Each structure stands twice: as C-alpha cells, then as structure tokens.
C-alpha cells in the first residue's frame, strides 16, 4: 500500500511539473517571440515563421526608434519621473502610514475616513485638469510626481505591515533615550524593507508605464515621456504601412528600405524597450515583494 501511495505521489508530481512547465512556456513564449521579431529583419519577419529566435538578426528596428534625438530626452524624463516619483511616494506614504499607527494621534479615525472617501469617488478628468491649471502643474515636471505621491491604498498596506512590528521594540528604545525620529530611522525603517520594496515596485511600474498624464496635461515636447513618444511612433508606423500598401498597389518595384523596417517590427521593439527595465528590476525585488504582499494573510 505504501508503494502505491508513493507511486501515485510521484505521478502527481510529474504531472504537476509538466503542467507548470507548459503553463510557463505558454506565458513566456509570446514575449520571446516579440523579442525575436524585434531583433529580426522587418522584411523577413513579414514572411512569418519567427518563433523564439531571430532568423535574420538586426538592430535596425531599435535604430529606427532611437534615431530621433527627442527619444533620448524622453528617456531622461521617464527615468527622472520614476526615480523622483518613487522616492517621493515612499517618503510621503511611509510617514503617513507610520503616523496612522499611533493611537495617540488626534482624530485618527476621522483622517482615515477623510482619505478613504476619494478611493471610491473622484472628480473626474475635467475637474482634475482645472485643478492642475489653477495650481500651475500643467506643462510642469511636478505633474508627474506630485499627484501620485500619496496613494491611500498603499498607506493602508504600509500601516498594516507596521502593526506587525512589536511595540516593545519602540518602548525599549524610548527607555534608552531614543526619540521618534531615531526610532523611525534605526528600528522601523530597517524592519520595513519588504513593504518598502513592494510599494517601490508598484509605484515604479506605474510611473514607467504611464503615458496618459503626458496626453492629458503636457503639451511641451521637452517634457514628453518615453512611453508617450513611443505611442506616437506606433501611430506613425501605421502611416508607413499605408504608404507601403499604396506603393504596392501602384505597382512600384523599388521599395527602398521600407521593407527592412515594418510596423510589426517597430511595435515589437517598442514592447521590448518598455518592458526591459521592469524585467531587470523585478527579480531584484522579488524576495521582498513576495514577503510584502503576504502581510496580513497569516495570523499567529
């Protein structure tokens, strides 16, 4: 009987591993295919048959995206947006969450209710635009970082995590003569690395992927983000596709270099460029991220 249970368990393990492997391959293959198309000659890719490796390797698709000098400026703006926005969000949200853990905070419940209401009800785009216009955020770099500096959902997550830190640590530190800032800097923050990594990852991904802020509130070309510029280029690639089609209908035989870079190849290169930073950062924060999102799931 023990043998049959062992054989059944081994069979289940094999089937489980095979299923997870197939599921992982199904999730990974589309991205590998996109990378292969981005690194493959556009004319050759249009013939089909590209799997997970480039058949005719080339960097012309990325060169097409990066040949515009404004792309480099947009990359600088996007990088600054992520760094400044994430750092500011961590400072504001962590200090707010830390303050809301203090029972001696006057009006704590009223503050929680005040900030909870906007989570479910918002003014909409037009009131937001009018507000930004009145306070001078339109066409300003701060429009990228100030509105997202406070996210009450993240504050609640931080507050829940901080409740897991024993109060006895703070009490013993106070007995030794430590003030609130010392306790926060030397005890609370070092113990809060998992939740800080989690919030940093969420915020950085949000800032990096955001292009609607540029669309709605920025008209200065010098403040446009990389994602917004790439979105414009995707539309331009559609125009190139229509020009190629019109030339083919007229019977033109000399297509120049147009077939070397196709709209599909440009889209693939755009996806690779916008996802590489997240793919690099996520494994570095994965350990802390998993621990941070598990907060509150297990009660001892």
How confident is residue 249, by pLDDT bands cut at 50, 70 and 90?
low
Q: In this structure, is residue 207 part of a structural domain? A: yes
How far apart, in whole angstroms, are the C-alpha atoms of residue 265 and residue 234?
Answer: 10
Q: Tell me the CATH number at 288.
A: 1.10.3720.10
pLDDT averaged over the chain?
82
Q: In this structure, is residue 235 part of a structural domain? A: yes
Q: Left, alpha or beta for 255 (phi > 0: left; psi -120 to 50: alpha)?
A: alpha
Lowest-pLDDT choice from 71-80, 127-136, 247-256, 280-289? 247-256
Q: Which residues contact 219 (CB under 8 A, 6 or more apart)?
A: 139
pLDDT of residue 140: 93
Q: In this structure, is residue 208 part of a structural domain? A: yes
Q: In this structure, is residue 14 part of a structural domain? A: no
Structurally, the chain folds into a number of domains equal to 1
Q: In this structure, is residue 169 part of a structural domain? A: yes
Task: Tell me phi and psi for residue 6, to 5 degrees.
Answer: -65, -40
Average pLDDT on 201-212 reads 90
How far apart, in whole angstroms, are the C-alpha atoms of residue 32 and residue 30?
Answer: 6
**Tell me: the pLDDT tens digits for 131-173?**
999 999 999 999 999 998 999 999 999 999 998 888 888 888 8
How far apart, in whole angstroms, are the C-alpha atoms of residue 96 and residue 247?
Answer: 60
Q: In this structure, is residue 17 part of a structural domain? A: no
CB atoms within 10 A of CB 81: 25
Task: Give pTM, 2 decimals.
Answer: 0.77
Q: In this structure, is residue 5 part of a structural domain? A: no
Q: In this structure, is residue 142 part of a structural domain? A: yes
**Tell me: the pLDDT tens digits for 82-139?**
999 999 999 999 999 999 998 888 888 898 888 888 888 877 889 999 999 999 999 9
How far apart, in whole angstroms, are the C-alpha atoms of residue 72 and residue 67?
Answer: 9
User: Domain residues for 139?
Assistant: 26-293
């Amino acid at each position: 009987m023990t043998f049959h249970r062992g054989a059944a368990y081994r069979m289940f393990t094999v089937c489980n591993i095979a299923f997870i492997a197939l599921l992982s391959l199904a999730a990974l293959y589309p991205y590998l295919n996109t990378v292969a198309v981005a690194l493959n000659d556009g004319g050759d890719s249009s013939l089909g048959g590209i799997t997970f490796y480039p058949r005719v390797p080339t960097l012309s698709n990325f060169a097409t995206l990066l040949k515009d000098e404004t792309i480099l400026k947009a990359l600088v703006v996007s990088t600054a947006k992520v760094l400044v926005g994430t750092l500011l969000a961590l400072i504001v949200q962590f200090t707010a969450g830390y303050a809301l853990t203090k029972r001696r905070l006057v009006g704590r419940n009223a503050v929680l209710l005040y900030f909870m209401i906007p989570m479910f009800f918002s003014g909409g785009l037009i009131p937001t635009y009018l507000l930004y216009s009145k306070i001078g955020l339109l066409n300003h770099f701060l429009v990228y970082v100030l509105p997202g500096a406070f996210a009450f959902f993240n504050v609640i997550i931080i507050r829940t995590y901080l409740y897991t830190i024993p109060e006895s640590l703070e009490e013993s530190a106070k007995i030794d003569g430590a003030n609130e800032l010392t306790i926060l800097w030397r005890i609370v923050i070092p113990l809060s690395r998992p939740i800080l990594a989690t919030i940093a990852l969420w915020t950085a991904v949000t800032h990096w992927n955001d292009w609607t802020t540029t669309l709605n509130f920025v008209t200065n070309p010098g403040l446009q983000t990389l994602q917004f510029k790439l979105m414009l280029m995707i539309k331009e690639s559609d125009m190139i596709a229509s020009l190629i089609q019109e030339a083919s209908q007229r019977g033109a035989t000399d297509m120049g270099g147009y077939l070397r870079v196709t709209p599909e190849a440009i889209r693939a290169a755009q996806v690779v460029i916008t996802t590489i930073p997240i793919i690099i950062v996520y494994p570095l924060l994965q350990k802390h991220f998993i621990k941070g999102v598990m907060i509150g799931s297990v009660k001892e």
